[in-house]
Structure 1
Amino acid sequence: MTKLRLISLFLKAGIAVPFFYFGIQLIAAPFFPGYSFIRNVASELGSDRSPLASFFNVGIFVQGVLMLIAACGFWLGSRRTGVPWGLAALISAAVFMGGLQSMWAAHFPMPDPRHGGHPLFLAFMIAMPFLLGTFIWKYGRTKALRTYVAAALLVMAAIVLVNSGVLKIDASQVEGLKQRVLTLTIFPLVAVAARILDRVMQENLE
């Protein structure tokens, strides 16, 4: 296998991330009596109250591994395509830390107080959409992709403001929905950016 094909394979791990993250929830949720995608957060599917806790936690751990692989793909692919060094390093670090966060959460499932992980994980998770969005904005080229990035960042910013208490909105009854909307502004961007980088690499060969 050539190095280019290996990097492309690494990036495909990034493309798989959102499908894996949301897919395991769709599989596990029907086995959890009374579970609501509106009220209940994803981590509850891995808690001691969930019939498929082990399945969910193993799935989240594997998703974390996929992100670690994707982080390598982002770094190696960026080096081959002339992405600015600083942006490449920050994106790779953010995706890598996001993978560690998923693995940590799976290893310490709810209600373990360690489940939330280190604040550094959260910092990188919040930074990840902005870094990936910058990459997509520059290399995605189309108006549709730029509109998608702008919308995702606006939605994420709104949810962060709600979570921080800056926006006085009672979202206690929609915690699950709020979390899923937030993750929709993060994990799909990993897939989109990975696909774009893979395409740019292929174009550079022509």
Structure 2
Amino acid sequence: MKKIIFLILIVILGLPTIASAQTATDSSVTTKIKERLEKTAEQGLDTIKEELTTQSLSPRKKAYVGLVKSVSEELVTLEYKSQTYPVYVDVKTPVKQDDYLLTLGFFYPDNNQFRAKKILVIDTPQPPLQRQLITGQIQEIDGNKITVDNKSLTINSKTELIIQDIEKPSTDDLELKDSLFAIVTLDKNGDIDQVKNILVIPGKNNPAGMAPTNAT
């Protein structure tokens, strides 16, 4: 009976040791798994970083457009919207100063250079038209030229003329002191280039502005 009790005590006392050993083994396995995952993650991040670096340094397709400011054997300098752009050329090009170019090639981030593989001479783009509204009473009429607000306006075939209450108006239907509204385009110096549209409201001197005497 004493031997049986003794064996039971040994088994009971030995269980915490076995459990402790098992816990230590589980903890070790968990730690190793964690370390392996962390290592794999680090390797993955390094791979991604390396790939991103490679991509950032890879040549990229690019195009520059602008006015030629200077030309040398290997370099053409373009100007576009007050900024200059160096364009390196691999072959001799017949372009000259003040040509307007479209250049196609590759940008190399490692040395911050754009190298053109194809160069096209194109027409210089025209600046957008500047428009102005001129209003006032007609001060002078001289054929197809009229003066309004001390500005001379020339009416031609490109001018749309509208006179209130006149179906097919012409300059012959204009009178002094008629009220005029004109839309004109300006040249690069700010002078009137073209009279586009004119709307005239007849004044008291213009028969078109008078009410018929037999109106009821």
TM value normalised by structure 2: 0.17
Query: Whose Rg is larger?
Result: 2
Task: Judging by fraction of residues, say which structure has more strand.
Answer: 2
Between the two structures, name the one with larger relative contact order (CA 8 Å, sep ≥ 6). Answer: 1
Task: Judging by fraction of residues, say which structure has more helix.
Answer: 1
TM value normalised by structure 1: 0.18
